[in-house]
Structure 1
């Protein structure tokens, strides 16, 4: 029996993955959605005390720590070994919890895809198993290691992706472009796959005063926040700033985040002599990102084209739209699926000269900045967290009622 969309009996759900829960905004959103529907939620996650936030414990949410092996990230063998050990530990804990909790739904987050097999006992006991593909592993592997998409490791990863998707009762994937590719490649039927992008929580990413879109701070602050990897293209943005150094002396480029490419970015900043205008600002808590963005003037999404990155949707673009920042964005298929030319300023991927031209165009044209902000804000009405919550909870209820 349900009242107002909630069950009068407390139901149990589990989130599982190689999750640092305290800083994983996507998983936290799903947990909140389930709480709103009356679920009690366990989260099987890794422990990382260095990344704790100030979040208070939430009633009806239990964090179950699965200890991982120390591993050398540069060794593929050690990485795989550590991942397999984590899988077996998680499967053991999840199986034991299944007999205690009698889960209605188990939601497994990749990477890797085969984590979904940790849910074999709950599945046999009648739980709904959802596989959530944050990133497509075969393409990411090919991009990271510079190998062909036809290589043996990539083919093996495609096989793992296929059997993992078939094992799950339903697959959630991070954007519509990837969903269509899974369907076209015959990995999974259309009815068993749903695209749910990681749209921002507008309570955290509150909009600036619209008038501010016409004005620039002094200095004008251009911002990037996110990961530092080769394909995120932060180096392209730094090269663009080097071209603007003399033309726009009152500009600063603020870079927030971290990742394996950080040392290379610092070297590039020194090599180009742009230390005065390009600042590496370190990481910032997801809870504070909106506040940081509201203090900036122009945002950039400098992602490079190619395998994986063409179809990987940059969720920071939605955060920029929510805050009301005009954005200069790399023209790749995933971004163009969601935002038109009149809502962001697109430049050719990897082209620092073209990116510099677009930044200068926004810098010099307050009406254009304002127009992009207004249009992107209208577009965001279709991409709110409310739509994601509705889509997710309706999916869970439908699967659970079968």
Structure 2
């Protein structure tokens, strides 16, 4: 995430910060506010800690905890060795209240409430994978309707502890929104939790709506794209920052999810996610597209359009993935102890299983299970065929000479 100090809050021109929040008008957020501002919706921010002492976040954080062993019990003390301002910036873009009408940072869902769950990457107290699993479970148990995760594991796979934690969230009707990651930070392809079935993954675009080269990764699990460059947020000490990255695009989408949940409390998580992706403005060469997913998010359309109900999460079924994939990883039973063949490993479920083009593209998992052996056998098979062809031609030539 690229960050630069914009200007201390007290010295800012009254409306300069609000003017810089271009996504509020460009992505239909202000129009969506005519229907919903996120009232009654609780969003958990699993991050470095959201400092509610800043002016724009006064009264926004209603509960919190620390799972790192390094922070305060309310989860609001910044932790971690990389960027302790990160969680507060995320929280302000998601649910900032501003400082006065037309002043300061206002979030996409300015009437939503936040849970601050502090995690500390780079600390030695608790393993980071354990922290995430604990953070997700705590968020669900304390009333989260949405979970924002502006972080990545930088691997396609994830530990089994995340299976249970994320499945727990989905079974309890919680929408999980995760960042695709930033190429400029070394994440060239989407990593967990953004690779997990059922998670709404967010890619980033620049001011013109074009996929951001430095501030967004790509992958087949992307759901929607949102602004990730020239973002404005507020950090501890009431200091405003200009920053870039899918860390900022993610709370924009999580805020839109909160607007949808506020406007349509009768909808379950699957239908909420479907509203967000099905009303997005398509971009790229396919739908879904590895750069844009289903397209550029549209807050007004997501909140106000008529959208048919769905019977399953359009971003995939984590329970089914666990049932098939984790069984495939278990030690094979002896032939006498089983009556049916063991299931083959399956790739991470794609958003649209009916996409014929994507079905032809091998994934990392399918390459591990079938691609490498086929390559090896293909090389040796080709060599043997060449030898056989040469021998046959020699025999044929001798016969002709006779």
Higher normalized contact order (CA 8 Å, seq sep 6+, divided by chain length): 2
Q: What TM-score do you get using the length of structure 1 for normalisation?
A: 0.27
Q: Which has the higher helix share?
A: 1
> Larger C-alpha radius of gyration, 1 or 2?
2
